[in-house]
Each structure stands twice: as structure tokens, then as C-alpha cells.
Amino acid sequence: MESEQVFKAVADHHRRHLLDSLAQADGQTLTQLCAYMPMSRIGVMKHLDILEQAGLITTRKVGRKKLHFLNPAPLHSVDAWLTGYRRLWNERMDRLEDLINRTQANEQPKEQNDAET
Amino acid sequence: MESEQVFKAVADHHRRHLLDSLAQADGQTLTQLCAYMPMSRIGVMKHLDILEQAGLITTRKVGRKKLHFLNPAPLHSVDAWLTGYRRLWNERMDRLEDLINRTQANEQPKEQNDAET
DNA sequence: TTGACACGTAACCATTCGATTACATATAAT
DNA sequence: ATTATATGTAATCGAATGGTTACGTGTCAA
């Protein structure tokens, strides 16, 4: 499970949505997961395949049903990469705060855009 | 700057490498950044365009040079998404630890594979 | 055993991606 | 003024992505 696969798997909002759905209710079947997705069953299957390749889900076949289980562990590699940047954007936020404070000390500020959510 | 763009921008290891390079030395020119990249200058330009579209870098033209600056702020949206999963994988790690402890209490463990780094 | 249900496989198609070569433009240096 | 440097634009190309339809297989229920 290369971390590159994890990044790519998570880059698609449909796949993130699938993970979110499993985080909410683990062990869902394919058809259950399809309910959340604006595409054909085959489309969902392909996305699930990619998630499984990345190690983000595991599956178990029970009768004619295929159950899907979330495995968040590989997300750790994404988190690890981000770690180096958390410090950076905190520094910038601090500097921005300083700037705001200094600006407020002198004049009336108009409006301050925050980072997007 | 949609968060989807940020996820996609960061999904490519070349682009992550560019960001890492800027994190180490901010304000590099295109040709400087090319040194790190196993592709043509145009290839690098395109990657930088994608990063700029995602808001992850800003640029300033100085004479014939174009300087590139890291803006880690949009990474916050990735971090925010991950937050929900950090709890999950900690829970699993805890359970794994429990399992290991219980196993060690009974028998001699052979080898324990950790999550990949 | 027949049919409905859940999933799998194959073939296909349009679009995007990742990279290239070739050429153009703007600025710095001599 | 000429040349070298730094970047920009356009056209092209193969491969990967993201989705589809059509058909096949296995399992449960009546």
C-alpha cells in the first residue's frame, strides 16, 4: 500500500464520501453504498476497488452480499505529510494575527477574510 | 479555491515535492524548481499552475524571473477532513495494543506488523 | 426449480492528465 | 545591438480516469 495510492484514492470527493459513509455505518454492502452515490453500481464498484487497493477499506463476502469495512490506518501517511505544514500555517496565522492587531491599533479595519474552510 | 482542487493538487507526488521544496526555500524561481523535477520545464510549469489554482502557491514576477511562494493555508481543508479519522485510527490502535498485550500475556508473539508509515 | 437479488466481468467511450516539442516573448548582460 | 537567460503559448500525443451498457454468475426465497 503505497502512500501515493492513498493520496490519489482520497483525492476524489466521491471516494471521500464513501469513506465518510462507512465511518458513519461500517460494514455496508455495495448496494447500500450505492444509495449515497450519483452514479451506476459499476461506477461505485470501481471507486470501492480503488479504496481497497489503497488499503482504506477491507471487504468480507457473506452469502451473496459483500460487506465493506473502513480501515483508516493508511490515512496516517497523509496526516504525516501534513504535519510539516501545520507548523507553517500556524506561523502564518500568528503573523496575520499580529498584522491585524497592529492594524487595529492604528485604524478601523474594513473586513478580514479568513482561510477557507 | 475549492477544497477538491486542493486534494487533487496534493495527490501527485511531484507536486508535493514542489511544495516541500518551497517549504525548505521559499521564493524560488521556475528554473530553480526544475532542478528537483525529473521532467521538462513545461511539465513543471503545469504542475505549478495546478498548485497556484489550488491556492497553495502564489507568484510574483521580478524582472524576467517568476518567484514562487508557498501558501500552506488551503491544506487546512485536508487536515480538517482528516480530523474525523484521527479519532478512528487511534481507537483501532488502542484496540490493537490491547490485543497485543493480551497475546503477549498468553504466548510468545512471532512478529507484529505495524501500519505502514 | 424458478425467479429475484447481489455482485462480477467485459467492452466501450469521452475526457482529463502528464508530458512532450517547437516556437515566441521579455529581460538582463556584454 | 546582440546574445544569453527566463519564462510563456500552442499543438500534439499516449495513457489513465470516470463513467456507461450489456451480459454472466452465484445465492437466497417461494
Q: In this structure, which amino acid lies at residue B100?
A: I
Instruction: Report how far residue B53's alpha carbon sits from residue B56's, in angstroms, rounded to the nearest whole number.
Output: 8
Per residue in B43-98, pLDDT tens? 999 999 999 999 999 999 999 999 999 999 999 999 999 999 998 877 777 777 77
Q: Å from A9 to nearest chain B CA?
A: 8
Per residue in A18-42, pLDDT tens? 999 999 999 999 999 999 899 999 9
Q: What is the pTM of this model?
A: 0.84
Residue B70 · residue B22 · CB < 8 Å: yes
Q: Quick check: A13 CB within 7 A of strand C?
A: no
Residue A104: the pLDDT is 72
pLDDT category at B107 given cuts 50, 70, 90 is: low
Q: What is the mean pLDDT of residues B25-30?
A: 98
Instruction: Report how far residue A9's alpha carbon sits from residue A11's, in angstroms, rounded to the nearest whole number.
Output: 6
Q: Å from B7 to nearest chain A CA?
A: 5
As to burial, measured by CB atoms within 10 angstroms (0-12 exposed, 13-18 middle, 19+ buried), residue A15 is buried
Residue A107: the pLDDT is 62
Contact: A92, B78; criterion CB under 8 Å: no
Q: How far apart are the first and last CA of chain B?
A: 30
Residue A1's DSSP bridge partners are: none
